[in-house]
């Protein structure tokens, strides 16, 4: 409440529920305009927050502002997005319940910014540790990634969300944000292939072209010029002064790393940009003959080729976006420590264009369903509060839009069901056969009209390929031309899933308004704002929220604020808060029809009654501070202050004694079954162990010693957590290795199976990285390849041959085919050994540092081994071949021989 009556006249009322003429749309608009002119962009309707986009910086989102609104009573300070976010958070913590914030409004009203402010507030107000800071960064940086792929410049907004987003912020038992989960709805895929004049494609394309590294663009075959790509220039505004695509590209790349996208993931989504090259598709393949193994190719007409190209482009983008959302969720979600969630739903609002497509039909239907849910939940919560407080509920007249929802989604009779039937029926279904079926089924419906069904006057405003729906927010005309898709049922199902999610949570609302079309500060367009107030259902909500009483507060809060107005309640009231409020309003002279006493709250019917007590309180505050400060008065103030401090200290000490006693009792009973005596102590032990564990987790899968020894109560949980952590380390390791490393690991695993239990130094050799020395066919001389390729090359590796005389090294290639082994020197095959001629090999070992082998009958050769940091091979004075190298390498080579 903004102080005195004079201030209220100037800046308006901060809660529309306190409007005397609450049924008057004019009074509503006057109050909204007053506040906007004073840069007060937020106003409440009860707990609903109305936000008007100021189109300028107001300096009201600083860290200092966050601190001011943290932990403060919802109505104690002026309305703010931080106040709503804080109240949702504290209610979630105190009641251990799930909540969601529905942010709605048309494009450019500030929905995306509102959701960002909520996320930023939780990032600051929640408990903070190194691990939780990482989670917070991932939550915040998921926004620029999703905006890059899902947002675009439109005529109404330079950063317009062209998809609906629902995000769950996941909290643990301490109220710390530990993860998130993202769902997307209604991606505007048509924007990929077509943009209106003055609009752009999705941001990511321009970010890539402007900010992508030269090497990446070369790899993708792209040029740093948007004008070369038809999909990017149809709106003729590739460059936008308010957008820095080059800087935004760097932000997205940084965000992908922090969200923990692997290099392979980033490479995968980079490749999808190649569809910028899509030209006309020239043929279609309607059938494939499996008997004669030939394809039937049918040439496209120019129109069909264009349609097929656009359909493919939209499908590629749609699937890429779905994959991206899944990957963001995969890297955000925490399945282990979730206790409660706060959902954020940011979805574009009800809109009407000159040409409204099938996508707009889906968007408006979504808003129709959300309006239905909005009224249902608001009515439900109001009725429940009245019933809990023992106050008689007064029925509220409102427009029930169920008739419109049924018109669209009713089984067998709704528009979506008729569309499905038309797509699946035998024969050729067209847009106009669908329209004829609608006219047959919907004839006489009060919210549906076509050119054929309309009266003479309305018929002039409708084309033959259009139908008009009378939504709760107004009339919208939709075109059926070229929009006959069989996807409506899928959309209806996803919308039903979203509704189901929302129905399990407590609702909070932010309604965003645009003050003008030009995005200019300090300009308030009455006609435009009035239209938004209508289709956002704000007057409807206000009527429901009033429901007879303009104001309700808990007795403790009401008495604490206004107790100075009654001598009996000031400065201290000894009885119950309800009795104190009763004494206070009796002193103020309230009449019986002005208020009701509930079980825990006082309900005041008229705003003027509340304003009277508020103005009296403002005067009273000044009276209390007036007059000379005598020694008696100074002494009284000092005594009161010391008394207050002493009472606070006594309460603090009493609380500390209680906690210490409970801790000692819990420690003494720590080995007993869980009971009232030890439950809190055991909870402390669990929390303490988990806190220490998170800072001492093994960094490697091979680290078997770091894991903390758990207390008895955490033995089972520790085993489970250790398995989960090992799986996490394995997942990170596997996702971080290249495809070449994966092949090496497979070979190493196969080798391990062969040598396990058969090799003396197996435990020492298993931890050594496997070196893949295989050579590819392109490294083999073409002449050699032509001779041996028909036999089928199975394995090839570079080797060194040492001469019998002098042991001089000769570089060779050892190649194994299906039939024989070849020793190759450049373009010559030096030796071919048929497998069938091999009788075996014998390499007797007469010491651990020597190998003896037969050179020829009656003559032996010797190989000596020696350990050293430097590897070399040479002939010794005694004629032996000396191999020098690291100990493991020598042991391995000796074992393999």
Compute and round to an integer the Cα radius of gyration of the chain: 38
Provide the 3-class DSSP secondary structure of residue 699.
coil
CA-based max dimension of the chain:
128
Joined together, the tokens standing for residue 78 give: 């002026």
Both tokens assigned to 630 = 């005598």
What are 151's strand-pairing partners?
161
| 726: CB partners within 8 A, 6+ apart | 701
Give the whole-angstrom CA distance, residue 216 versus residue 267.
Answer: 10
> Whats the size of the chain, residue-wise?
897
Give me the sheet containing 828-834, strands edge to edge: 793-802, 809-817, 820-825, 828-834
- Long-range interactions of 683-692: CB distance < 8 A, separation 24+: 685/711, 685/713, 685/714, 686/713, 686/714, 686/717, 689/714, 689/718
Q: Which of 384, 378, 380 is nearest to 599 (CA)?
A: 384
Helix (H) or strand (E) holding 341: strand 340-346
C-beta pairs of 763-768 under 8 Å, 24+ apart in sequence? 764/888, 764/891, 765/888, 765/891, 765/892, 765/895, 767/702, 768/888, 768/892
Cβ(192)–Cβ(201) under 8 Å? yes
Asked whether 557 and 72 are in contact (CB, 8 A), the reply is: no
Return d(Cα 572, Cα 556) in angstroms, integer.
12
Residue 840 annotated as lining a ligand binding site:
no
How many Å from the N-terminal Cα to the C-terminal Cα in the chain?
Answer: 90
Q: Which two tokens stand for residue 749?
A: 């695993």
Contacts of 885 (CB under 8 A, 6+ apart): 867, 868, 871, 872
Q: Is the CA virtual torsion 690, 694, 699, 701 positive or negative? A: positive
Residues 6+ apart with CB under 8 A from 316: 272, 275
Closest to 336 measured CA to CA, from 683, 737, 722, 10 = 722
User: How far, in Å, CA of 732 to CA of 394, rounded?
Assistant: 59
How far from the centroid of its chain's Cα atoms is residue 268's Cα?
20
The structure tokens listed for 769 are 């990285």
Q: What is the dihedral of CA 184, 187, 192, 196, to 10 degrees?
A: -140
Exposed / middle / buried, residue 82 (Cβ in 10 Å: 0-12, 13-18, 19+): buried
How far apart CA 145 and CA 203 sit, in angstroms, is 10
Give whole-number Cα distances, 505 to 314, 332, 344, in Å. 34, 21, 11
The angle at the Cα of 159, spanning 153 to 163, to the nearest 5 degrees, equals 90
Listed residue (307, 311, 286) closest to 298, CA to CA: 286
Segments in 199-357 forming alpha helices (H): 203-211, 214-220, 230-233, 245-258, 263-271, 302-332
Is 110 one of the annotated binding-site residues? yes
- Is 858 annotated as contributing to ligand binding? no
Task: Report the half-sphere exposure of 456 (CA within 13 A, side-chain side).
Answer: 0
**∠ CA(7), CA(12), CA(15), 5° rounding?**
115
Q: Is 107 annotated as a binding residue?
A: yes
Task: Select from 694, 603, 595 the least CA-distant residue to 134.
Answer: 694
Residue 489 annotated as binding site? no
Rounded CA-CA distance 81/62 in Å is 12
Check whether 651 is labelled as a binding-site residue: no
Tokens of 144: 């620029």
Residue given tokens 């926004």 in the structure block: 143
List binding-site positions for ATP: 105-112
List binding-site positions: 105-112
């Amino acid at each position: 409440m903004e102080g005195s009556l004079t201030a209220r006249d100037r800046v308006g009322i901060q809660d529309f529920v306190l409007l005397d003429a609450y049924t008057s749309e004019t009074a509503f608009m006057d109050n909204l305009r007053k506040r906007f002119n004073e840069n007060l962009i937020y106003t409440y309707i009860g707990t609903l927050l109305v936000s008007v986009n100021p189109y300028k910086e107001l300096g009201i989102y600083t860290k200092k502002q966050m601190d001011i609104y943290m932990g403060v009573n919802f109505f104690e300070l002026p309305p703010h997005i931080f106040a709503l976010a804080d109240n949702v958070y504290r209610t979630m913590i105190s009641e251990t319940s799930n909540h969601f914030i529905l942010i709605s409004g048309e494009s450019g009203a500030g929905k995306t910014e509102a959701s960002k402010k909520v996320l930023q507030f939780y990032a600051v107000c929640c408990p903070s540790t190194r691990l939780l800071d990482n989670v917070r960064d991932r939550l915040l940086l998921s926004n620029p990634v999703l905006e890059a792929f899902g947002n675009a410049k439109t005529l109404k907004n330079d950063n317009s969300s062209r998809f609906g987003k629902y995000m769950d912020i996941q909290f643990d038992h301490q109220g710390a944000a530990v993860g998130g989960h993202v769902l997307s709805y209604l991606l505007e895929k048509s924007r990929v292939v077509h943009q209106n004049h003055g609009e752009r494609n999705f941001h990511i394309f321009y970010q890539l072209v402007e900010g992508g590294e030269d090497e990446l663009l070369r790899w993708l075959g792209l040029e740093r010029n948007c004008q070369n790509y038809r999909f990017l220039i149809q709106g003729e505004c590739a460059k936008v002064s308010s957008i820095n695509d080059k800087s935004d590209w760097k932000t997205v790349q940084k965000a992908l790393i922090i969200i923990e996208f692997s290099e392979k993931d980033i490479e995968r989504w980079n490749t999808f940009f190649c569809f910028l090259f899509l030209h006309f598709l020239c043929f279609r393949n309607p059938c494939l003959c499996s008997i004669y193994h030939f394809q039937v190719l049918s040439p496209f007409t120019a129109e069909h080729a264009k349609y097929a190209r656009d359909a493919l482009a939209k499908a590629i983008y749609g699937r890429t976006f779905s994959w991206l959302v899944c990957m963001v969720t995969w890297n955000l979600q925490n399945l282990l420590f979730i206790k409660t969630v706060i959902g954020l739903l940011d979805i574009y609002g009800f809109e009407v264009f000159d040409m409204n497509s099938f996508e707009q039909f889906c968007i408006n239907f979504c808003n129709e369903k959300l309006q239905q849910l909005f009224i249902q939940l608001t009515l439900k919560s109001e009725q429940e509060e009245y019933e809990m407080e023992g106050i008689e509920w007064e029925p509220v007249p409102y427009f029930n839009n169920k008739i419109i929802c049924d018109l669209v989604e009713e089984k067998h009779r709704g528009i979506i069901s008729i569309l499905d039937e038309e797509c699946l029926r035998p024969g050729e279904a067209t847009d106009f056969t669908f329209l004829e079926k609608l006219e047959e089924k919907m004839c006489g419906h009060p919210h549906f009209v076509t050119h054929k069904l309309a009266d003479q006057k309305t018929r002039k405003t409708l084309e033959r390929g259009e139908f008009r729906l009378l939504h709760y927010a107004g009339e919208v005309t939709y075109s059926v031309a070229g929009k006959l898709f069989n996807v409506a049922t899928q959309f209806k199902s996803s919308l039903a899933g979203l509704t189901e999610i929302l129905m399990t949570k407590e609702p909070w609302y932010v309604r965003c308004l645009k003050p003008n079309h030009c995005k200019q500060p300090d300009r308030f367009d009455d006609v435009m704002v009035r239209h938004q107030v209508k289709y956002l259902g704000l007057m409807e909500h206000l009527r429901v929220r009033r429901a007879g009483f303009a104001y309700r507060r808990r007795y403790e809060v009401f008495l604490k604020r206004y107790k100075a107005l009654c001598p009996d309640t000031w400065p201290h009231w000894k009885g119950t808060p309800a009795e104190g409020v009763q004494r206070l309003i009796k002193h103020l002279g309230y009449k019986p029809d002005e208020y009701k006493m509930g079980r825990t709250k006082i309900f005041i019917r008229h705003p003027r009654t509340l304003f009277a007590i508020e103005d009296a309180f403002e005067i009273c505050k000044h009276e209390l501070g007036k007059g000379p400060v005598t020694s008696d008065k100074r002494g009284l103030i000092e005594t009161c202050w010391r008394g207050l401090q002493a009472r606070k200290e006594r309460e603090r000490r009493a609380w500390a004694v209680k906690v210490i006693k409970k801790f000692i009792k819990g420690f003494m009973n720590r080995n007993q079954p869980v009971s009232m005596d030890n439950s809190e102590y055991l909870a402390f032990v669990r929390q303490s162990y988990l806190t220490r564990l998170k800072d001492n987790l093994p960094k490697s899968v091979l680290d078997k010693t770091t894991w903390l020894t758990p207390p008895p109560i955490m033995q089972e949980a520790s085993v489970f957590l250790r398995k989960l952590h090992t799986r996490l380390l394995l997942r990170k390791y596997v996702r971080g290795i290249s495809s070449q490393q994966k092949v090496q690991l497979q070979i190493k695993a196969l080798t391990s199976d062969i040598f396990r239990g058969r090799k003396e130094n197996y435990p020492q050799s298993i931890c050594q990285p496997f070196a893949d020395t295989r050579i590819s066919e392109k490294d083999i001389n073409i002449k050699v390849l032509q001779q041996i390729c028909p036999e089928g090359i199975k394995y090839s590796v570079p080797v060194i041959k040492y001469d019998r005389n002098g042991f001089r090294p000769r570089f060779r290639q050892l190649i194994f085919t299906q039939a024989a082994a070849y020793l190759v020197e450049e373009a010559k095959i030096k030796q071919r050994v048929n497998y069938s001629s091999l009788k075996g090999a014998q390499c007797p070992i007469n010491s651990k540092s020597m190998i003896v082998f037969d050179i020829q009958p009656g003559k032996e050769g010797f190989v000596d081994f020696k350990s050293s940091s430097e590897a070399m091979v040479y002939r010794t004075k005694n004629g032996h071949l000396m191999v020098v190298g690291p100990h493991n390498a020598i042991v391995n080579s000796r074992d393999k021989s």
